[in-house]
Chain A
Amino acid sequence: MVIKAEHINYIYGKGTAFEQHALKDVNLEIESGEFVGLIGHTGSGKSTLIQHLNGLLRATDGKLYYNGRNIYEEGYDMRALRSHVGLVFQYPEHQLFEIDVFTDVCFGPKNQGLNKEAAAKRAKEALTMVGLDESYYKRSPFELSGGQKRRVAIAGVLAMNPDVLILDEPTAGLDPKGRDEILDQIKRLHEERNMTIILVSHSMEDVARYVDRILVMNQGEKVFDDTPKEVFQHYKELEAMGLAAPEITYVVQTLKSHGVPIDTSITTIEEARDEIIRLLGK
């Protein structure tokens, strides 16, 4: 497995009135090439958790392994870890600072010690991946639209060529078109480059459509860790945590309670359509 967390605990502001137990005994394993969704209510600890995965936060207690090595070991190269585990923060467009798009995307690879040509090559690849052509390269990142800015920022992390990509709500504040574009591009990265992806999201529809596995966080604890089908069976518990299952789960559950022999593990509209057609055809 790529990432393994053992009994991770994290306490903010220990010993002050602001003390907050943000992570409570979190254990998890992420295999190479997985597409994992991380969901949870605001303040459930999901952002805190992902910052542990690339060493930006250090667990108060617990162990974290990357490719079998404990990252809290004396002398572990945290900067190298950060180029293997790419982290795209919420509203990543707020981190843009360079005079043009291309130079900004080059920032990461340059920090990795690549020369100008190699960094430029990476930047080009990354910008192509997020669907921005050469006409954007020399434009100021500040004159782009919100969705374009976000793509530039994601390219900035992709240019570092990470093995694991973590995205914290990459679609927050985007319109439906921008959202679908970004998610489709992430899906493509997963399929074509076999990149391990962790997607933090609020939207159950997005998660159900793209990921193979869901982690649910609630009040600093990991409560579910399973395939979307299994997790959404617990839609009542999810509701109690201030979350919800995809709309379609409610449709099939309601049909079921009215005596329709429908398969309740359905999580997407397409599956529901096929299932209903199958039932009607009988």
Chain B
Amino acid sequence: MLKDITLGQYYPVDSILHKLDPRTKLFGTMVFIISLFIANDIWAYVIATVFLAAAIKLSNVPLKFMVRGLKAIVFLLLISVSFNLFLTPGTAVVSLGFLKITKEGIIVAGFMGIRLIYLVVGSSIMTLTTTPNQLTDGLEKSLDFLNRFRVPVHEVSMMMSIALRFIPILVEETDKIMKAQMARGADFETGNLIQKAKNMIPLLVPLFISAFRRATDLAMAMEARCYRGGEGRTKMKPLKYGNQDRVTYLIYFLYLAIIIGLRILRVQSF
């Protein structure tokens, strides 16, 4: 029922990507996102596609699983694509009354759609191949320098890792409560919007109560183990870059250089 949420979900298989240092993957995702915004040329997109396809292949995660994450943004995708499609000025291809589809519109909308899809798929590769704990470890280490500006990096990343850890728990809990209420005749599917919102009360009240209960329990358990924040805290498995990480970074720079190069070439050719 609620198994479609792939965001923040780890997919436990063995692959080269799973073994990489989380910082490498974080950086790679960033590079990929930046590259998508630099790319403005069909060739750049071809290269981005190859890069993404290679990452998917190497991750050993079934494509089906990544595409599922797209369901969450279908609405956003439709809006941004149709806005670009209808509202970009230029030479009209089809016109329906006051609406007209322009040649420029089709190109912009197409790139926009691809960009959004790649953004989601690209970042889900990271979350699917990295456990939430590794991810926050990586973030904490990468943002270490912010400590000097009195930003509580450790605390923020601890909160993040707890939040991420709680996603599957709460999904499971929601599923359970939903079933329990359905067994009592509750209906979550039919009715208009207001009716549907009202029908959510038997789900949301127990869910909030259980979230608070879990939060108190967790706080208690952390205190019982003497958690006092990040100061002076050491790690059992400190992050360390290996050879494969170095190679990966090299690939990133190569990739980014090509994308930037293509953009410069394109600008010059105009």
Interface residue from A89, A112, A160 paired with B180 (Cβ < 8 Å): A89
Is B12 located at the chain interface by the 8 A CB criterion?
yes
In contact, A89 and B201 (Cβ under 8 angstroms): no
What interface size band does chain B fall in?
20 to 34
A198 vs chain B, min Cβ distance (A): 13
B149-157, B183-191, B219-227, B241-249: which lies at the A interface? B183-191
Are the CB atoms of A16 and B185 closer together than 8 Å? no
Tell whether A108 is near chain B: CB-to-CB under 8 Å.
yes
At the interface, yes or no: A69 with Cβ under 8 Å from chain B? no
Asked if B210 and A94 sit within 8 Å, CB to CB, the answer is yes
Binary interface profile of B, 159-202, with partner A (CB < 8 Å = 1, else 0)? 00000000000000000110111111111000000000000011
Q: Which residues of A contact B3 (CB under 8 A)?
A: 13
In Å, the complex CA distance between A157 and B176 comes to 16
Q: A15-B64, A94-B206 are in contact. Are A111 and B176 (CB under 8 A)?
A: no
Chain A residues, Cβ within 8 Å of B206:
94-97
Q: Which single residue of chain A is at the shortest CB-CB distance from B185?
A: A111
Chain A residues within an 8 Å CB radius of B64: 15
Chain A residues with CB under 8 A of B180: 87, 89, 92, 94-95
- On whether the beta carbons of B177 and A94 are closer than 8 Å, the reply is yes
Query: Does A224 belong to the interface (CB within 8 Å)?
Result: no
B235 to chain A, nearest CB (A): 28
Complex partner residue of A160 from B62, B184, B201, B210, CB under 8 angstroms: B184
Q: For the complex, give the distance between the alpha carbons of A250 and B13 in Å.
A: 44
Q: Is the CB of A82 within 8 A of B182?
A: yes
Query: Given the complex, which residues of B lie within 8 Å of A142, measured CB to CB?
Result: 209
Question: Which residues of A have CB within 8 Å of B209?
Answer: 94, 142
CB-defined contacts of A97 to chain B, threshold 8 Å: 201-202, 205-206
CB closest chain-B residue, reference A111:
B185
Most chain A beta-carbon neighbours within 10 Å: one of B11, B182, B183, B202: B183
Asked if B179 and A83 make an inter-chain contact with CB atoms under 8 angstroms apart, the answer reads no
User: Within residues 63 to 95 of chain B, which ones have a CB less than 8 A from any CB in chain A?
Assistant: 64-65
Q: Is A121 an interface residue (CB 8 A)?
A: no
Nearest CB of chain B from residue A80's CB, rounded to whole Å: 9
Taking a contact as CB atoms under 8 Å apart, the answer to whether A89 and B202 are in contact is: no
The complex places the Cα of A111 from the Cα of B191 at a distance, in Å, of 13
Interface of B is mostly: helix
Tell me the nearest residue of chain A to B3, going by C-beta.
A13
- A residues near B183, Cβ cutoff 8 Å: 54, 56, 82, 86-89, 157
Contact residues, A92-132 vs B (CB, 8 A): 92, 94-97, 107-108, 111-112
A15 neighbours in B (Cβ, 8 Å): 62, 64
Give the chain A neighbours of B181 by CB distance below 8 A: 95
Residues A79 and B187 in contact in the complex (CB < 8 Å), given A16-B65, A89-B179, A89-B180: yes
Query: With A83-B185, A89-B179 given, is the CB distance from A16 to B210 under 8 Å?
Result: no
Chain A hits for B182, CB < 8 A: 56, 82
| 0/1 string, A50-76, CB within 8 A of B gives 1 | 010010100000000000000000000
A contact residues around B187 at 8 Å (CB):
79, 111
Q: In residues 147-172 of chain A, which contact B (Cβ within 8 Å)?
A: 156-157, 160
The reply to whether A107 and B184 form a contact with Cβ atoms under 8 Å apart is yes
Q: Is B202 a contact partner of A107 (Cβ separation < 8 A)?
A: yes
A89 touches B176 (CB 8 A): yes
**Which of B12, B13, B202 has the most A CB atoms < 10 Å from its CB?**
B202
Q: How far is the CA of A83 from the CA of B187 in the complex (A)?
A: 13
By a CB distance below 8 angstroms, the chain B residues around A277 are none
A280 within 8 A of B: no
Contacts of B179 in A (CB 8 A): 51, 56, 89
Distance from A139 Cβ to chain B, minimum over Cβ atoms (Å) = 16
Shortest Cβ distance from A66 into chain B, in angstroms? 14
Q: CA A137 – CA B180 in complex, angstroms?
A: 22
A17 within 8 A of B: yes
Residues in chain B near residue A112, CB distance under 8 A = 185
Given the complex, which residues of B lie within 8 Å of A82, measured CB to CB? 182-185
A111 touches B65 (CB 8 A): no
CA–CA, A56 and B11, complex, Å: 26
Q: Which residue of A lies closest to B13 (CB)?
A: A17
Residues of chain B with a CB closer than 8 A to A56's CB: 179, 182-183
Asked whether A111 lies within 8 Å of B12 as measured between CB atoms, the reply is no
Shortest C-beta distance, B33 to chain A (Å), equals 26
Knowing that A17-B12, A94-B180, A111-B184 touch, tell me 12 more A-B residue pairs with CB under 8 angstroms. A15-B64, A54-B183, A89-B180, A94-B177, A95-B177, A95-B181, A95-B202, A107-B184, A107-B185, A107-B202, A108-B184, A111-B187
Interface residues of B (CB under 8 A from A): 3, 11-13, 62, 64-65, 176-177, 179-187, 201-202, 205-206, 209-210
Interface residues of chain A, those whose CB is within 8 Å of chain B, are 13, 15-17, 51, 54, 56, 79, 82-83, 86-89, 92, 94-97, 107-108, 111-112, 142, 156-157, 160
Interchain residue pairs with CB less than 8 A apart (18): A15-B64, A16-B62, A54-B183, A56-B179, A89-B179, A89-B180, A89-B183, A94-B176, A94-B180, A95-B181, A95-B206, A97-B205, A97-B206, A107-B184, A107-B185, A111-B185, A142-B209, A156-B184
